[in-house]
Amino acid sequence: MLPLQLIVENKEKILQGLKKKHFVNAEEIIEKILKLDEERRGLIKQSNEIKNKINTLSKEIGELFKSGKKPEAEHKKQESVELKSNETQVDNHLKKVETELNALLVLLPNLPHESVPEGKSAEDNQVVYQHGELPVLPENALCHWELAQKYDIIDFETGVKLTGSGFPVYKGKGAKLQRVLINFFLDQATQNGYTEIEPPILVNEASGFGTGQLPDKDGQMYFVNEDKLYLIPTAEVPITNIYRDVILKEEELPIKNCGYTPCFRREAGSYGKDVRGLNRLHQFDKVEIVQITHPEKSYEVLEEMREYVAGLLKMLELPLRTVKLCGGDMSFASALTYDMEVYSAAQKRWLEVSSVSNFETFQTHRLKCRFKDKNGKIHLAHSLNGSALALPRVVAALLENNQTERGIRIPKVLVPYTGFEWID
RNA sequence: GGAGAGAUGGCAGAGCGGUCGAAUGCGGCGGUCUUGAAAACCGUUGUGCCUUAACAGGCACCGGGGGUUCGAAUCCCUCUCUCUCCGCCA
């Protein structure tokens, strides 16, 4: 959520940013917001003045009763009652205005950083980095879902039987590979200064709202109606919400947390090759990294996080590229996002395995996550996060790119974890 | 799941329906003393919003929401959470 003050003070800048993000109706909404805000201020002033009078009267009434001047007290009581009904009217009006205002504010996405490229869709994204040779596989190379079946390591059909599509069952070395990757990613993160967190995977509405999934993505999360809880779509939600309603000390920044959780996404309306095999799932495993930083440091940290994630993929010997998302392709809450993609040699396409974003104050404003500087002043912190990494597509690329006559080769860094060099 | 108790400032802990944003203690910050430190003493110590160029002033907040009252931290209702006992349980 964008701070109201920012909108009031920087209307033009906001409109520009929203345009870059291809947000429609921006002008109309902003105008409404400005008008409502003006109304709101007026009403607050009125309400406060009435309350002030009532408070003063009440004190006087108390004194009058004490000194036994009953008739005068009664008179003032009457006056106070009238003021009260007046106040109730003003307050009701104010409440209505504030509800309307809030409903509009929540619609506005975050503003893109100035370096975000113009563009409408994924085609306009900029490749800013590429590393590794694209493997060339023989004609008879198999896609990962075929390999999964051949070596009996992932069973999609049984997942359908147990739950539904998008809930694969990992078996044998396939299951172990999941566990190994989680451990590897967590170990790397903790070695790089991130504190490991194991959060709940069900969260309440306030948490969903805090990181911006609600109300924007209501319907994409699984919801447990009985207890009014959401299954998390990413560890970002619980891990970032740790800092909801918290005032940090400046010297506590940056906060660096990481965590593994299963992630749950309903993702209604997907189709075709995008959802084959491991390409898109309703449940998957992911290690997430989250940082809460000083506002002046967040872009530096974003680059650091992006390099960190690229480093993971290099260790796994996967060809990768980094894409800077254009305005139209960015998420609701992000100010700048890099997607990390690996090349899946049998499918002959790039698969997104990580998304690293700076949210600036968009999340922290909702979260009320602030820090106190040396002078005792309170500021909003910046929040960032990234996948490091999501497993399924990494596994897809590993299986496809490393397939040989002999079996599937496990990357060297993982062998100490797996205890085997081949899936065969 | 059943029965009871409770929720107050960074923490601990007071608070007859009126002068309570809230005693007191601890902690934090500033100062006096000291070569330095400790001790002692003095002062200070929440958040949000509105008005203001500023000084300053006003309003709200004692778990959340609603109510009674001229006036609520204090009374009533309701929700949430915590604790104790019992039951169940990895």
Summarize pLDDT for A132-183 with one digit per residue, the tens.
Answer: 999 999 989 999 999 999 999 999 999 999 999 999 999 999 999 999 999 9
CA distance to A9, A39, A57, A158, A346, per residue, from A396 (Å): 48, 56, 74, 19, 9
| pLDDT the model gives residue A374 | 81
H or E stretch at A170 = strand A169-170
* Spatial separation of the C-alpha atoms in residues A86 and A72, rounded to whole Å: 22
Res A74: pLDDT = 87
Report, as an integer, the average pLDDT of A304-326. 97
- Give the confidence band of A393 by pLDDT, cuts at 50, 70, 90: very high
pLDDT band at A381 (very low <50, low <70, confident <90, very high): very high
The residue with tokens 């400046």 is A250
Cβ atoms of A166 and A280 closer than 8 Å: yes
Q: What is the pTM (predicted TM-score) of this model?
A: 0.92
Looking at chain A, how many residues does it have?
A: 424
Decide if A320 contacts A313 (C-beta within 8 A).
yes
Percent pLDDT > 70 in chain A is 99
Q: Which nucleotides of B are covered by protein (CB under 7 A)?
A: 18-19, 47-51, 58-60, 70-71
Which residues from 217-276 of A have any strand B atom under 7 Å from their CB?
247
A229-246 mean pLDDT: 92
The pLDDT score that the predictor gives to residue A224 is 86
Whole-number distance in Å between A202 CA and B1 C1':
22
pLDDT, mean over chain A: 92
Give the whole-angstrom CA distance, residue A387 versus residue A126: 19
Average pLDDT over residues A301-329: 97
* Cα dihedral across residues A211, A209, A238, A312: positive or negative: negative
Q: How many CA atoms lie within 13 Å of A11's alpha carbon, on the beta-carbon side?
A: 10
Around A111, how many Cα atoms within 13 Å sit in the side-chain half-sphere? 17
Q: Give me the sign of the Cα torsion angle A143, A145, A150, A152.
A: positive
Specify the pLDDT at position A373.
86
Residue A200 has pLDDT above 70, yes or no: yes
Predicted pLDDT at A414: 98
CA A322 to each of CA A131, A220, A350, A411: distance values in angstroms, whole numbers, following the listed order = 9, 26, 11, 21
**Strand B: which residues 26-65 of A lie within 7 A (CB)?**
41, 44-45, 47-49, 51-52, 54-59, 61-62, 65
pLDDT tens string A25-69 = 999 999 999 999 999 999 999 999 999 999 999 989 988 887 878
